[in-house]
Amino acid sequence: MTDSALVGQHRLDLSRGDITNERVDAIANAANEALRGGGGVDGAVHRAAGPGLLAELRTRYPHGTPTGTAVATDAYDLPARWVLHAVGPVWRGGNNDEPNLLAAAYRSCLILADELGARSIAFPAISMGIYGYPPPDGARVAVQTVVAYLRGETRVEVVRFVLFSEETYELFAEALAEAG
């Protein structure tokens, strides 16, 4: 199942699947501030990439990265060229700047993609798993942030949200329809 929309000359895709199988220039990883691997998407990315990923993170980012930011590494055994480790917010009720931090995590990845020369990037649903971000709101923030970025100056040609569940896919499809 795939939905697509054009944003100017750029394409925004939704698909169901496993982000570790995506053949794109960069995949975003829903990382934690320590950048040391974890569960969910983060664990899957680390397992699929192999031990070199964690070794690079430990060497280049010994102190991690704050919520709302992202850092880049090689992709090792993944079919992508880079992994962009984005730290989304833990949901704490919505009064702790969570929407802005989530938007910043997506934007940070897109900026890194441009800096690296990536033309295609795949995103998971950042913060919508163990971090507890309410799925309808998280989908809206994600889609609105990416659409706004693609309307500006960017060399990124394709952004794909790779969503694990049918329910999450439907929420992103609704957010994409609302974004026009």
Average pLDDT over residues 98-114: 98
The model's pLDDT over 12-46, given as tens digits with 9 standing for 90+, comes to 999 999 999 999 999 999 999 999 998 899 999 99
> What's the domain range around 137?
2-179
pLDDT band at 93 (very low <50, low <70, confident <90, very high): very high
The model's pLDDT over 125-175, given as tens digits with 9 standing for 90+, comes to 999 999 999 999 999 999 999 999 999 999 999 999 999 999 999 999 999
For residues 96-135, b (16+ Cβ closer than 10 Å) or e, as one string? eebbebbbbbbbbbbbbbbebebbbbbbbbbbbbebebeb
Catalytic residue among 3, 13, 25, 42: 42
State the total domains in the chain: 1
Instruction: Confirm if 18 and 165 have CB atoms less than 8 A apart.
Output: no
Q: Is the pLDDT of residue 1 over 60?
A: no
At 28, which CATH number?
A: 3.40.220.10
Q: Is the pLDDT of residue 121 over 90?
A: yes
Q: Is the pLDDT of residue 72 over 90?
A: yes
Average pLDDT over residues 63-82: 98
Q: DSSP string of 122-136?
A: EE--TTSSTT---HH
Mark whether 77 is an active-site residue: no
Record the tokens describing residue 92, joined without a space: 């704490």
* Alpha carbons 50 and 117: distance in angstroms, whole number: 24
Q: Which helix (H) or strand (E) holds 140?
A: helix 135-150
The model's pLDDT over 42-52, given as tens digits with 9 standing for 90+, comes to 999 999 999 99
pLDDT band at 3 (very low <50, low <70, confident <90, very high): confident
pLDDT band at 2 (very low <50, low <70, confident <90, very high): low
* Alpha carbons 137 and 163: distance in angstroms, whole number: 15
